[in-house]
């Protein structure tokens, strides 16, 4: 009988512990073990990007990562994008630009887009299209998604983060072992 493994991680800025079978994917861990169902399953084989989350500095398809692999790491899901102060600018832009129809791919697009703009706030249309090519959307034809990401990039300040955001960014980093 396979035994569950005790895993310590930082999930959306909060220290988090859970027990998980070694064969369970991070996607299954998030959805079934921890109960965060914002991360979606579209294919379970790394081809649609609906389950995109950020692990440390990388965005990954959480269906291709095991739950035990996030031991000691920092995980960000769609549930971690908004702060008590409000929505992330990308979330707001997706709403204003009507970038979602059914919404199932939206969490993955948001997490992936945030990772891009964190690195390259001024990414142009081609760069955005290149970066997001691993996320499938079947409803929108991508037009309004690209526009939302461009809009947030265009309005981002060169120094980027506000004080509140900077604090939010530092806190989980400090929690990392």
Partner 1 sequence: MVATRKPATGRPVNGKHNYKVIGTRPIRHDGLDKVTGRAIYGADIKLPGLAHGAVLRSPHAHAIIKKVDTSRAEKLAGVYAVITGADMPKADNREVDLGEGAANLKWASNNVMADDKVNYRGQPVAAVAAVDQNTALQALGLIKVDYEVLPAVRDVREAMAKGAPVILSGLVGDDLGKKVKNTNMARHFRHEFGNLDEGFKKSKLVVEHEYELATVHQGYIEPHNATAQWTADNRVTVWTSTQGAFAARRQIAGILRLDDSRVKVIPLEIGGGFGGKIPVYGEPVAAVLSRKCARPVKLLMDRKAVFESTGPTPGGTVKVKIGVDAKGKMLAADADIRFESGGYPGSPVGAGAMCVFAAYNIPNTRIDGYDIVTNKPKSAAYRAPGSTHVAFATEGVVDEIAEKLGMDKIDFRMMNSAKEGTRRADGPIFPKIGHEECLAAAKNSPHWKSKLVKNGPNGKKRGRGIASGYWFNIGLKSVVTISVNTDGTAALVEGSTDIGGSRASIAMQAAEVLGIPAEDVRPVVVDTESIGYTDVTGGSRTCYATGYAAYNAAQSVVSILKERAAKLWDIKSNDVDFKDGVFFNKSDAELKLTFKQLAKKLDETGGPVSATGSVDLSAAGGGYGIHIADVEVDPETGKTDVLRYTAIQDVGRAIHPSYVEGQIQGGAVQGIGWALNEEYFMDQQGRMSNSSFLDYRMPTTLDLPMIETIVLEVPNPIHPFGVRGVGETPIAPPVATIANALYDAVGVRFRQAPMKPGRVMEALAGKK
Select 78 or 117, whichever has its Cβ closest to partner 1.
Answer: 78
Residues present in the chain in total: 177
Distance CA(7)–CA(155), nearest Å, equals 39
CB of 71 to partner 1, least distance (A): 21
> What radius of gyration, in Å, describes the C-alpha atoms of the chain?
16
Nearer to partner 1, 25 or 174 (CB): 25
Q: How far is CA 72 from CA 18, 46, 68, 166, in A?
A: 12, 23, 10, 22
Closest approach, Cβ 37 to partner 1, in A, equals 4
Residue closer to partner 1 (CB basis): 9 or 113 = 113
Angle at 59 between CA 28 and CA 92, to 5 degrees: 95
Residues that bind partner 1 (CB under 8 A): 21, 23, 31, 35-45, 47-48, 50, 77-79, 81-82, 87, 91, 94-98, 100-107, 110, 125, 128-130, 132-147
> Whole-number minimum distance, CB 113 to partner 1, in Å?
11
Pick between residue 65 and residue 105 the one whose CB is nearest to partner 1. 105
Q: How far is CA 35 from CA 5, 75, 98, 105, 114, in A?
A: 17, 15, 28, 18, 23
Q: With respect to partner 1, which residue has the nearer C-beta, 107 or 172?
A: 107
What is the smallest separation between the CB atom of 158 and partner 1, expressed in angstroms?
26
Q: How far is the CB of 73 from partner 1 (least distance, A)?
A: 20
Q: Which DSSP category does 69 fall into?
A: G
């Amino acid at each position: 009988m396979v035994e569950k493994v005790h895993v310590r991680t930082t999930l959306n800025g909060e220290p988090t512990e859970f027990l998980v079978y070694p064969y369970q994917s991070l996607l299954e861990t998030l959805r079934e073990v921890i109960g965060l169902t914002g991360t979606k399953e579209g294919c379970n084989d790394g081809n649609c990007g609906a389950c995109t989350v950020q692990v440390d500095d990388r965005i990954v398809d959480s269906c291709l990562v095991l739950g035990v692999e996030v031991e000691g790491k920092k995980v960000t899901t769609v549930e971690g994008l908004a702060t008590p102060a409000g929505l992330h600018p990308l979330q707001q832009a997706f709403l204003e630009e009507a970038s979602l129809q059914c919404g199932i791919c939206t969490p993955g697009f948001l997490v992936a887009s945030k990772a891009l703009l964190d690195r390259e706030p001024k990414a142009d249309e081609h760069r955005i299209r290149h970066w997001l090519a691993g996320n499938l959307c079947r409803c929108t034809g991508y037009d309004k998604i690209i526009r939302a990401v461009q809009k947030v990039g265009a309005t981002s300040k060169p120094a980027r983060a506000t004080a509140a955001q900077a604090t939010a960014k530092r806190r989980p980093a400090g929690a990392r072992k």
